[in-house]
Structure formats: structure tokens, C-alpha cells
Amino acid sequence: MAAVRNLILVLGDQLTPTVSSLAGADPARDLVLLAELHDEATYVRHHKKKIAFLFSAMRHFAEELRATGWSVEYVTLGSADNQAGFTAQLAHAIAKYRPERIMVTEAAEWRVSREIAGWRARFLLPVDILPDHRFLCSRSEFRAWAEGRKQLRMEYFYRDMRRKTGFLMDGDQPVGGKWNFDSENRKAADIDLFMPRPQAFVPDAITNEVLELVATRFGDHFGDLAPFTFAVTRADAEASVAAFVDRALPHFGDYQDAMLTGEPFLYHAVISLYLNCGLLDPLRVCRQVEAAYRAGKAPLNAAEGFIRQIIGWREYVRGIYWLKMPGYERSNFFGHTRPVPDFYWSGDTDMACLRAAVVQTKELAYAHHIQRLMVTGNFALLAGVDPHALHEWYLSVYADAFEWVELPNTVGMSQFADGGLLASKPYAASGAYINRMSDYCSSCRFDVKQRTGLEACPFNALYWDFIARNRGKIAGNPRMAQMVRTYEKFAAAEHERISESATRFLAGL
């Protein structure tokens, strides 16, 4: 090609043709650089399926760009030109092509953003770091929204996003007269219900090549590589959305918090990995869901619940991440220090709910939000697991996990490690919650109705032990004060039994 004007680095979660780094570029004069980097695959030990998904999606995106006239330098992991990390790879490309300027869309993660910030001085070239317009709320807009607020509650942010986008609005009022229908989205699922499956895709030649690469280079990483059924192209990701809207959305709202043995997906869309790497446009997805509601094909609680996850929660946690980084990743309100239990990697536990969540995670690189929050997250909170270690586990094992979205969900929502900046209460619960929202307890060797003893569900003693240990920190929380008072009404002998049961169980981890 002719002399390169702009060298455009596209990151692995920027697989969008309209991303800002490409939007103003000229395919005739500019060169796109994508690279499969060892450092990115191993800064935590990512699930094999996650690595395969991203590498295959990147390779398909490079072909998509070439088909529309772009010149693309694609560096595979096994290439002799591969330099392992972003800065070294960029230095190699600069030496090879002598560009006038570097262009990149702002990184979604702090560690990469910090690395990019040093490139101007490192390379003595102009480096244009462009805003990521794929999100509804910019970092500066979120800072302005947060300024002066005593509490940064998602509900109020979500209402502003509804007004901004017009989704499910009648003029300046929410459709149905309420902003939030979450109270209608907590039904337990029945095994007799028909369960649709997310759209599955057969690996093509590109994906099969990637699967061989991952098996060879990352075979000792966590997780199963086969079967591999993820979409890796834009067209297939969009087909996944269409299938969800058609088959699963009508029941998504009712059962979005349910858990059922042998049914890992229930009515969930399983598209967050496509959204987070750029294969899907969040606004386009929300328009499809709203259109289904307006056409009478999905109830309001389903459409509202889904759209809230995208324009509310997803945007909100990104805002919290950039508002509080760096340092947020080391938050530890309760001072927890326990390592992540070994069975989080193996699934080797007699607790049916945890075994189901971990085995599913190992097989699929997926678990839905209640499994993450109220099973693995809840157990870690009650057991006193170090929130940073747990954060690294979640970041490793899920295909949709990028730090900007995973870290606030883990540190803030799941572990209350930020002391209540994000969540209004610790999401701590005994076995009764899991029994109400799942059928796991019916096949578990532990008795969910016993509070203490060798046969009791460990969640029960751990829950009350958590309350006891942290009374001084949670008694003033309006949503936890009643549970503290309840514990204090227990007899001294019951306090002793709770402590003994919790201590014995934790000693065996």
C-alpha cells in the first residue's frame, strides 16, 4: 500500500465498523492494526472459550473490514511479528509503516487506558485518543450526573437514560405509569415450562483454526473449549438477538431471577458478550425489544426489565468504574481476606447450587446474573472471600467479562466492598432465597431448613455469622437493621451454634 497516513489500532472489544477511530479515517490512506496478544489472554487466566471467542471474532472483523475496502494488518498469536503486548506491537508496526499519526478509540479498561496515555511520549508521534460513542453516557456526562449526589443510585440514572433515549416513554412519562417493573420479575421457574435455547452456531474454518490454537497455547487455562457455539460475526450476533426477541423475550421478565437444574439459560438472551466486544449495537437491540412490546409480542415487564439492563445498569456500572478508578479495585469494606475456594475452579462441592453454577461456568463460560450475584457472589460474601481475588475470578471465567463492567458488579454490587457506593445493601442471603428462586435445594445433600449442624445448608449458618461479625458496620443500614435485631434476639446458645457451624464449615474449605 501507499505511505500510511494514520495507523489505527482497534482493540479486541471495539469490533464495530462505526467505532470512532474508523469513523473519520480514509481506507485508501490509513491502515488498521488488530493483534492477538499473549499479554491480553493471560493478564488473568481467561476461560479458554473466552479467548477463542475474542480471537475468532477479531479475525472475522478483520475480514469484514477488508470486504469494505480497508487495509488491515492482522497479527495472529503465532505470527513471527507478534510482540505479545500493545505497546511493543504498536512499536513494531510504526517501524514497519512509518505512519504520520496513531489513532485509537479510548480503551474501556483502566490498565489499557494508562498504557495508551504514554504512547505520545514513547513514539514521538501524535496520538489521537477518540471518545467511544457506542455508549449512551460519556464519562464526563456521568461525572456531571454524580457530582454533589450523596447516593449514586442506578434507578435515578436509569430514569435520565429513559428520558434521553425515549425508550418506553409516553411523552415525558414512562409507559405503564411506572419506571421499573422489577417486582414482577421474580417468579420461580417450573421444570415443565418450555425452555428456548440461545441461537447456536457451528464453527467455521476460521473458528476451528482458533480453537486448535487455543487448545495448544492455553490448554491449561480454566474451562471447556468444546462445544463452541458462540456467534463470532455481526450477522450471527444479530441473529441471536432476533431469536431471543422471538422465542424468549415474552417470558424473560417473569423468570429473569429464576434458577433451574439443567437449564442454564432459561429465558436469558446470552448476548452480553456480543454487546461488550462490539458485535452488537446496544441501541439497536433496545429498539428491537421495544418494537416487540409495541407490537404486542412481549409484555411490558419483560421489555422494561431488558432495556433497564442495557441503558440503565450497563451504562451505570461503566460510569461508576471510570468515576472511581484507579483504586476502586482494592475496595474492601468488610476487610475480607479468605482466598477463593478451590471448588470455584472444580465444582467439587456437595452444595448443589454452587456445584451447578461452577460446573455450568466451566462448561459454558456463562452464568446468568442471579447465579453470579446470589450463588457464587453471595457465598463469597458470607465466607469472607477477598473481593479483589473474587474480582479476578469473575474476570477470568466469563466470556462477557471486561473489567469496566465486571469490577463494579463484583466489588460494588456482589461484595458491598465499596461500603454502599453502588448498592443500597449487602446482597447477603440464607439458603431460603436460593430455595425460593430455584429447585437446587431439592437435590442437595444439605437441608435448607436447618440453620445449624452438620446436615444444615451452609448458607444458613454463614448468613447469620456474617450478620454477627459485621453488626457494627451494617446495623445502621436501613435494609439490614432488622436482620441485626433478629440475630440479637436469638438465645446465646443459638449464637454459639451458629458460630460453631460456620467456623467448622469454613475450616474445611
Domains of the chain in sequence order? 6-130 (3.40.50.620), 139-198+248-324 (1.25.40.80), 343-507 (1.10.579.10)
pLDDT over threshold 70, residue 185: no
pLDDT in tens, 421-446: 999 999 999 999 999 999 999 999 99
Number of H helices, E strands in the chain: 26, 7
Q: How confident is the model at residue 496 (pLDDT cuts 50, 70, 90)?
A: very high
Q: Which residue's C-alpha cell is 488491515?
A: 72
pLDDT over threshold 80, residue 186: no
CA-based angle 443:372:248, to the nearest 5?
Answer: 80
Q: How confident is the model at residue 297 (pLDDT cuts 50, 70, 90)?
A: very high
The rounded distance, in Å, linking the Cα atoms of 287 and 172 is: 18
pLDDT of residue 33: 98
pLDDT in tens, 110-161: 999 999 999 999 999 999 999 999 999 999 999 999 999 888 989 999 999 9
Of 278, 267, 196, 268, nearest to 232 (Cα)?
278
**Cell matching residue 399:** 466470556
Cα-flanking dihedrals φ and ψ of residue 251, to 5°? -110, 0
Q: At what angle do helices 48-67 and 205-217 cross, to 10 degrees?
A: 140
Mean pLDDT along residues 321-338: 98
Question: What is the pLDDT of the chain when averaged over all its residues?
Answer: 95
Mean pLDDT along residues 233-237: 98
Mean pLDDT along residues 158-184: 92
Ordered DSSP codes for 200-252 = -----HHHHHHHHHHHHHSTTSSS---S-----SHHHHHHHHHHHHHHTHHHH
pLDDT over threshold 90, residue 190: no
pLDDT of residue 188: 76
Residues 152, 143: contact at Cβ < 8 Å?
no
Mean pLDDT along residues 254-272: 91
pLDDT over threshold 70, residue 170: yes
Q: Among the listed ranges 257-261, 343-347, 407-411, 459-463, which one has the minimum average pLDDT value?
A: 257-261
Mean pLDDT along residues 493-500: 97
- Which residues are registered as beta bridge partners of 105? 130
Residues 5, 101: contact at Cβ < 8 Å?
yes
Q: Among the listed ranges 189-203, 281-295, 374-388, which one has the minimum average pLDDT value?
A: 189-203
pLDDT in tens, 475-484: 999 999 999 9
Mean pLDDT along residues 459-478: 97
pLDDT over threshold 80, residue 1: no
The rounded distance, in Å, linking the Cα atoms of 385 and 422 is: 19
The rounded distance, in Å, linking the Cα atoms of 43 and 335 is: 25
Percent of the chain with pLDDT over 90: 92
